[in-house]
Amino acid sequence: MFWYWLEPAFWLRLAIVIAVVLLLLYSFHAIMSKWLKVERGNFFSNNYVNEKHKKVDWIIRVAAIISIMIGFAINSSTDPYWFFEPWAILSIYIVASLIGRAVMERKYAQNPNAFKVTVSDLVFVLVLFFTLMQTDVLGLV
């Protein structure tokens, strides 16, 4: 599909924005983990606290996938609703997943600071998301 309305440098700028956002997320996570002395896996990996956490996380994932499919069906047959758009559903999934992780870490993790890293990651993701959306991705896209 040829998208004639896109500027020639759009894909390059989008790749730069994605790379910078991923670098910011990774750096913030590494700094907070080191500062709060929490030994954790990578920011993008699934480190479950226990089996209950694994089940809750999979329930959230399945609900997100089903919501995306239902949203696609609804939005393709009528005027699109913003809350059925994939970006909105994925945003809600990320927030729900991080809240679920924080709750499980607060209740069951051996290190009492583990949930603080997750909560700080959640706050940073939300601030970054709203900053990018309010500034049209800092004017780059």
| pTM metric for this prediction | 0.81
Rounded Cα–Cα distance for residues 27 and 31 (Å)? 6
pLDDT (tens digit per residue) in 80-108:
877 788 888 998 999 999 999 999 999 99
Average pLDDT over residues 126-134: 89
One DSSP character per residue, 54-68 reads HHHHHHHHHHHHHHH
CA–CA distances in Å: residue 123 to residues 8, 126, 141: 34, 5, 24
pLDDT (tens digit per residue) in 3-53:
666 777 778 888 888 999 999 999 999 999 999 998 866 656 678 889 999
- Least confidently predicted of 1-5, 18-22, 75-79, 125-129: 1-5
